[in-house]
Amino acid sequence: MLSAGIDIGSRTIALVVSNGKEIVQSAVVDTGFDPVKKAAEMAAGLPREVSVTATGYGRHAAKSGFAGQIITEIKAHALGAGHLFPGARTVLDIGGQDMKVILLDEKGNVEDFQMNDKCAAGTGKFLEVMAVAMGYGSAGDFGEDSLSGVPGTRISSMCTVFAESEAVSLAHRGADRRDIGRALHVSVIERAFGLIERVGGDLPLVFTGGVALNPCIVQLLRERIKGPVLVPENPQLVGALGAALKGLGKK
């Protein structure tokens, strides 16, 4: 039996079709102007007998449209991460506009969770804005290059607007942009670490969401938690995978 999960986030829509063991089909697209319409189009391309479970902030709109059932992002990431890494105890998800940390019990059930406040600080959006401010063509290049920054430079503000002007004025004073870049990545990690601490943060930890593709963030996270960070091959698909698994009756 096949089941589809669709994760309608603020920046991207991810689709996964799974048979309960592996991912048989997947796609990630930008949300564009009308995310729910786009998601509906993606779902319309699926064979009729495949049930659709929606998650992400667009889930309610999807429910009144094409989705058979919905689950929260929290549950979806817990299911997806637990499937890819059985025995995982903490999931850190950093997406386009939010950050969450989920604590799992030994069976993979959600035991506790924390979400960031309603602002872009510490999210994918934050890193995108900083990449532009530091003159990089993409957030990927920004992360890659910041890996070689050295510690010592500090960004004190978590707020996207203030952090940006801090970074720019450091650059004007002649600081190396890789060091500034590293400091900006550290500020994201500090925020994530705060949430991890609040739920207890047992190991092993799985890192999901688009920001998990950023090598500098992964490296700094390893150092901060002093332990291994498990990153799935396609971290942006984990929520959609979890939703697909839910459709197959996983709890």
Partner 1 sequence: MSGDYRKMWESIGLDLEAHDQLLQALPPTYGEVYLTQENRPAMDYFDFVVNEIHGLRIQELQDHKAAGGKVIGTFCVFVPEEIIHAAGGICIGLCSGIEIGSAQAEKVLPRSVCPLIKSFMGFKLARVCPYFESCDMVVGETTCDGKKKAFEILNDYVPVHVMEVPQMKREKDRLLWKGEVGDFLAGVEEVTGKRVTAESLARSVREVNGKRRALARLSGLRKNSPAPISGKDSLLIEQIAMYDDVERFTLKVNQLCDELEQRVRDGVGVHSPGAPRIIVTGTPMAIPNWKVPHIIESSGAVIVAEELCTGLRYFENTVPEDSESMDQSLEAIAERYLNINCACFTPNTGRMEKLVSLAGEYNADGIIHCSLSFCDPYMIEANRVEKVLKEKGIPMLKIETDYGQEDVGQLKTRIEAFLEMIS
Pick the stretch among 71-79, 169-177, 201-209, 226-234 that binds partner 1 (CB under 8 A).
Answer: 71-79
Q: Residue 31 or 153: which CB sits closer to partner 1?
A: 31
Establish if 113 lies at the interface with partner 1 (CB under 8 A): yes
Establish if 111 lies at the interface with partner 1 (CB under 8 A): yes
Q: Cα 249 to chain center, whole Å?
A: 24
- Binding track over 174-203 against partner 1, x by CB under 8 A: ------------------------------
Q: Residue 3 or 116: which CB sits closer to partner 1?
A: 116
Q: For residues 53 and 68, what is the distance between their CA atoms, to the nearest angstrom?
A: 6
Alpha helices in the chain (DSSP H): 35-44, 59-64, 73-84, 124-133, 139-146, 160-172, 177-199, 215-225, 238-247
Among 38, 57, 65, 85, binds partner 1 (CB under 8 A): 57
The torsion angle over the Cα atoms of residues 206, 98, 146 and 207, rounded to 10 degrees, is 0
Establish if 71 lies at the interface with partner 1 (CB under 8 A): yes
β-bridge pairing 110-115 and 205-208: unpaired
Q: For residues 78 and 84, what is the distance between their CA atoms, to the nearest angstrom?
A: 10
Say which amino acid occupies 136: Y
Q: Residue 118 or 172: which CB sits closer to partner 1?
A: 118
- Contacting residues toward partner 1, per CB under 8 A: 57, 60, 71-75, 98, 109-113, 115, 118
